[in-house]
Structure formats: structure tokens, C-alpha cells
Structure 1
Amino acid sequence: MTSKQYSAPSVRQLSAVVDGMTGSVSEGRLRQLRMVVGMFDRAVGRDEMPARASRTAQQLFTWAALRPFWKLALDGQLRHWEKDVGKPLPEWSQRIVRDCLKILAREVLPAGKAVKLPSVANPEPKATVGGRSLDALYRGMVDLAGQGPLERDGTALSYEDRARLLAIVAVMLDAAPRSGELAAQSLADLAPGEVAVAVRRQQQKGAPNRVEEIASLAEVGTEATRSVLGGWVERVSEETRQRVLSAVAELEPLPEVEWYPLREGSQVTVRRWLQVRQGLVEALPLEGAKTALWVSLVPSKAGPPGVPLRAQGIRQAYARGIVALNWVMAGQYGWEPLPTTMEQIRRSVEAAPLEEPPA
């Protein structure tokens, strides 16, 4: 929708501002900004919004307009698709909308004019699990891989599924990769004999996943560090902001590739998965698609069995396996249900890379 197709003059002006930002922001951010323009279009004219919000783009950024806009957005009343209207806006979407409001306000309002923006909670990371739970996770997955077909409450795990899952968990516990880093792995990332695995770290200098390291260097709290890295500078003092930025500048760049040793049990599970994987990729028509370490087991939108598994597919496979493990182990003495999110497990692992790549 172009700026001329919006009914309210204020929204047409805002759309024109976004059109003028083409080339100065990324395509992804441009889509997000246009999404927020659409949200304003669906908000203006409602009873909750002040009448003057339809006049100029600047009126959209008064607190009298932003306050009801934000409430409507949080309640899911400004969603694009009719079928999704009423679904509360998830936290990650709230952050995107809030960041876009900040960018748009800077473009629309006169230089130096302050604007009150809605706040988004900056939650602490979910709790990690202890070493005993990590050991129980690995032992449980070994047992799960050796059992017969599993099916309960719509969750079914084939032998192939369990072999892949156990290998993923083994690599997670030895190298602590993220799902995106797992998805990027190829056969070349396994050392001869499967004695080690390579991880291409996706961390960027100053990225939020280095919060604790930055906070330690800056000698400030992690919450303040997240606020500075996330752009919420109004939550911290200028001194804190400068300390955090100085700490970011002092960070050593992360290695592009890190190699991690695989325990003997992990080597066995990876070899078992490689045998399963070989049967899946042999039927693929394209040679280039046969290099991924983690591949699909069944046909999907991405293609036939054997195509590279994406990060979302890895997370879903892991969650499905943990759900199965939790109900298999339920009721056994001392068993504590494990989290179904990979990140909680990954942050629980203390993995030390090899000083030198394996020969």
C-alpha cells in the first residue's frame, strides 16, 4: 500500500517518510517500519484514538495517541490478518514495534523534541539447568534412542528421529552451539574419526549474547548492559552508557571457527546418525544439497527427505524429543522435567574449545 492509499493524512505522511528511508535502512527494517505504518492505519479513527491523530504524522507521536495505540497493539487489535486479530502481541514483536516507533519519531518530530515511548520489559534469561540434569539428559536420550517406536499424544519418534536427536544433543553438550550454528554445519565440520566438531560462531561484537562479558568489563549490571545494547538508553545514566560502549570497544573479536572435542559416547552417536543420514541424502538429485550435517527425515515445504535442516526445524526436533523424554521418565524417582527450549540447555553447558584445530 502506498502513502496515497491510506485514508488519514497523518498515516499518508508517515508512509511517505518511510518511503524516503529506502536505501538508508535495511530491507528487513524497512518492512518492519511499513508494518508499523499499517498498524497506525488500523488504529487511527478508532474510538480509543484522539481525533487529531488523523491530521499530521507528528500527532501520531503524542502520548495521547501513542498510549491507546500501544494498548491496541498489545491486545492484538492492529494485526494485519483478520484471523490473527485478538492474539496478544508476543514480546519479540513488541520490541520490534517499539524500536520502529523510536526510529519514526526521530524522522517525524523536529530535532531535539523529546517523545515519550512505551516501555517493553527486558526479561532475565530463562533459568539454566544443573550438571546432574545435563547428565540425565544425555543418559535419557541414549535410552530413548535404543527403545522401540514411541508414540503418545500425537508425538511420534522413529528410530531415525531418535538417532538424529541423540547426535544433536551430544554435540550440544560438548560444543554448546546455537540452533543456527547447528543448521550451518556440514560434513567438513567433523574431524576425521568424529573426534571433534567445528562451530562457526554467529556472535557479533557487542551483540546481546555477550552481555555477561560486556557487563563484567564495564563493571555494571547485566540489566543496564542489555538496556544500552538494546537502545533503551533512557533507562540508564550517561556514565553507564559510556562504560558499556567502552567495554564493547575493548572486546576481542571472536574466532570465526572453534573446534570442540567430542567425547567417546558422542562420537558413537554421531557415527550412528551419519549412517542414517547417508541413506537419506543418497536419493537427492542435487549434489550440493548433500553436504549438510543435519538433514530432514520426511518431506516438507523445504523439499524431500535429506535436505538441510533449518534452525527452526532443529529447535522443533529437539523440543519434540524432550517432550517424549519427559513423559517416558515421568514418575521415576529424582527425575526433573527438562526444558524444551535449546537455549536453556545451551547456556547450561561450559564447553572449552581446542587450542588448535585437529590434525
Structure 2
Amino acid sequence: MSTSTDEDRYPAVEELPALVQKVLDDPDTTDSVADHVRWVYRTIQKALEREDYKERYGTSVRELLGPGATALCELTDNGELRLRGYKNNPKCVTTSQRRRSSILRRLAREAGVPSGAISYPKPPRKPTMPAWARSQLHNGLKAQVEKQPSDPGLARMLVVVGLVLDAVPRTGELCTCGIADLAPDLSWVKIIRNPQAVTSNLHLTEVWPVSPITQAALENWLPIRAQLIAGLQGSKNALLVSHGHGAYRRGTPLGRKGLIESYVAQVGELKGAVTGGGGKGWELPEGLEQLRLGVQEQHRNYAAEQAAGVKIPHWGPAVVLNPLLPEEGEKKKTMAAMAKVAQAVDAFHTARASAGDETDPTVLRARRTLREATRALWARAGHTTTLKLLHQAKLTNDDLPAAGYKAPLLDALERA
């Protein structure tokens, strides 16, 4: 508890909480930045517990956020103010160092005083995968998926790798991906983009084609996921759930930290198993973000080749749903998709009645048209609307596979 004498001698200690609160109340301060501000505030408080630091820099905000910020950076770099008690010193510039300096500069700017925070250089980006490694990665993924692994961690990791190769999602975007974001036939996936430094809650939704390898990985994972969430109370919507490893409760949605930890562990085990079995090591990056950056680099090169006039197949989202587009235009597209589904169901019934054989080319074409129409409607309206319309159009539950609906997905949707 501070005294009136402390207030006179160390006015910065008394003024700091109000300054921090001012930054927290700023509408431009995101939840993530707010967490970092509180973290830096606790670090400053820990430094002020040292009498020598308090005597020297607590005399004014100018001193505290000027030379005091320099001293704070040096103390944390030496591991003297680690809030979690870590003793090892960083061997290179870390994200935490850059983040701390950024917050210190923000506080100084808000106080209208010069900042003494050390400016750390941006660390060099880890090298991404060479082209030959990406080719091997696809082959390795295919070989592992074909084994239909029953180990939950491995089965889930193969889904994660497949989705990153297909749609280049960030870790957070993968964690928010749910069962409802899978197309009826698992051939498309919805990715709600959440790019860094975007404060709006309105995010672009991209619907990406899913490769046959990833579809197979999903078909293998969904029954395993069903076992993991059995008996779980609450939401059962998440696609990626925990298999009960470590501190993560079985069946609960996997968060960013859990996903990253699981990926690193599975990569290590898989590389060891492949190499130990006499096979060549699988060229899978050790970090999930490194994998994403490698695929993203490939995607950019692909787009550049297309722009240059090279005739190569399209690689990109099949549908883009932008919440900022006029609502009326999106409604028209959805209504058109609903009409096509109704027509496709009628055509399917007609073809089946006239042909009398499920293998008849007319029936097969009608099934393909129905499957494509159903998938297009799901992309815009979701499963609830799509299934309701299919039933209204007199398509029975037994005939839902004709519309592309996979049994494991229907089971997952029912549980959710």
C-alpha cells in the first residue's frame, strides 16, 4: 500500500495505472493487445519492487518510460524479471522482446514522452520448404492416410496437414473450423479468414476445394472424433478435438497452443517411426507455421505464373463470401442455389424412375448434378438450410448419399 510520502517521491508509480487503463479503454486496442498491455504492466510493477529501480525511475513518467524502459528491456533480456520464473536467457531476438518494446512505446506515446524501449530487429524468417520437399510431403501424406491410422493424434495431424496444403489456414483459423464447415461430400471446406492486425469482426469466408488425400484423412478422422466426444457435455461442433493428452480434456475443442504442441509431437514421432523402420525421413517442417508459410509461398508462385499467362489449373477458393458485399446480391445467389437443388432432386427422381437401374448413365449424371448443386447451396446457406430443402424436395434420409452427404458427417452433425 502506497503512502502520501511515496506519492510525493514516486509520482510515476501512482500515474502508471491510469495511463495503462487509458490504453486499455482505447477502441483501437484489440483483445490481444490488451493482454500484452497487462503483461507489460505486471513486468513494470515487478521492476518497481526493486528499490534501486524505483528510486531511479519512479520519479516521473518521463523517467519511467524513457531510460526506465531501456533498463526494463535489459533486465528482462537477462532473465531477471521473468514472470514465470524461466532462467534460460534467449539466444536470439524473441517475439516477446519485440512485443514488450512495442507496448512500452505505445505507453510512452500515450503519455506524450520519449520512449527508451530498445528496438529489436525482426528475426529472420525460418526457411520454407523447397519444391522437392513439398512434392515428397504430398507423397508422404498419401502413404500415411492410406494406412488409416487409429491413433487419434496421428489421424488428426494428417487432417491438419491436408487442410494446410489445400487451403493455407492459420493455426487460429484451423481451431475455429467446425463440423459445419465441411461440405456434404467433404470435398470443400470453409475457412473464416482472421488475418493479423484486422480489428473488425467481419471476416472473409473462403470455401476451398479439398484434395482426395485430405478427404480420405477426414473420413478416417470423423469416426475417431465421434468416439472422443462421446459423453461430452456442451458444444460438439469443433472439427479438431483433444484426445485427452496432457492437460487437455478428451473431446474438448483444441486451441492454438494444443494444436501446435500436438503437431510438434506427432511430427517427431512420425519422423522417428519412418526413419526407424528403414524408410527415408518425411520432409515435414517441425513447425506448423513453417508448413503454412511454405505452402503460402507456393501459392503465391502459382498465382504469379497464372498472371504471367501460364496455362495451369486454378488453385484458390471455389467460393468467397464477403460480409461487406450488398446483402441483396448474396440473397439472390442463395435463392438461385436453392432453386437448382430443387430442380436437381426432381431430375434425380425422374431419371431413377425411367431408368430403373442405379448404374444407368442417366441416373449417374443426375446424381452428379444433385451432388454439385447440394454442395453449392451448402457453401452459401449451411447444412441446416440445405438438409431442410432436400427433405422438402422429397429426398429421403436413405437417399442423402445421392446428394453427396457422407455418413460420418451426418452422424457428426446430428451429435453437434
Asked if Structure 1 and Structure 2 have the same fold, meaning a TM-score greater than 0.5 normalized by the shorter chain, the answer is: yes
Within 2, Cα distance between the matches of 1:281 and 1:80? 36
Match status 1:172 vs 2:118: no
Letter in 2 for 1:23: D
Measured against aligned partners, the alpha-carbon deviations of 1:113-135 in whole angstroms (never above 9, x if no partner) come to: x4443111212322111333223
Within 2, Cα distance between the matches of 1:355 and 1:35? 40
Contact 1:185 1:292 in 2 (8 A): yes
Which residue of 220, 236, 243 corresponds with 1:297? 243
Give the structure, 1 or 2, with the largest relative contact order (CA under 8 Å, sep 6 or more): 1
Percent identity (aligned): 28
Match status 1:188 vs 2:136: no
Contact 2:168 2:292 in 1 (8 A): yes
Deviation at 1:317, TM superposition (A): 2.0
Contact 2:69 2:104 in 1 (8 A): no
Contact 2:73 2:117 in 1 (8 A): no
Match status 1:79 vs 2:82: yes
Contact 1:294 1:309 in 2 (8 A): yes
Contact 1:8 1:44 in 2 (8 A): no
Number of aligned residues: 297
SS at structure 2 position matched to 1:170 = helix
Question: 5+ residue gaps in structure 2?
Answer: 300-314, 322-374, 377-416
Q: Which has the higher helix share?
A: 2
Within 2, Cα distance between the matches of 1:139 and 1:10? 61
Deviation at 1:147, TM superposition (A): 6.3
Alignment TM-score, normalising by the size of structure 2: 0.61
Contact 1:73 1:79 in 2 (8 A): yes
Alignment RMSD (CA, Å):
3.7
Measured against aligned partners, the alpha-carbon deviations of 1:267-296 in whole angstroms (never above 9, x if no partner) come to: 22211111212222232233xx22221112
Contact 2:157 2:263 in 1 (8 A): yes
Which residue of 222, 225, 241 corresponds with 1:274? 222
C-alpha distance 38-343 of structure 1, shift in aligned 2 (>3 A):
closer
SS at structure 1 position matched to 2:125 = coil
Match status 1:203 vs 2:162: no
Contact 1:187 1:292 in 2 (8 A): yes
Question: 5+ residue gaps in structure 1?
Answer: 150-157, 208-253
Letter in 2 for 1:15: P
Within 2, Cα distance between the matches of 1:2 and 1:16? 15
Alignment of 1:243-258 (within 5 A): 256-258=204-206
Letter in 2 for 1:39: T
C-alpha distance 8-169 of structure 1, shift in aligned 2 (>3 A):
same
Match status 1:61 vs 2:61: no
Contact 1:11 1:37 in 2 (8 A): no
Contact 1:141 1:325 in 2 (8 A): no
Alignment of 1:116-131 (within 5 A): 116-131=116-131
Alignment TM-score, normalising by the size of structure 1: 0.69
Deviation at 1:37, TM superposition (A): 3.8
Contact 2:137 2:283 in 1 (8 A): no
Alignment of 1:2-17 (within 5 A): 8-17=10-19
Measured against aligned partners, the alpha-carbon deviations of 1:306-358 in whole angstroms (never above 9, x if no partner) come to: 22222222222221221122223338686464321111111222252115794
Contact 2:193 2:204 in 1 (8 A): yes
C-alpha distance 329-201 of structure 1, shift in aligned 2 (>3 A):
same
Q: Which of structures 1 and 2 has the bigger CA Rg? A: 2
Letter in 1 for 2:40: V
Deviation at 1:41, TM superposition (A): 3.9
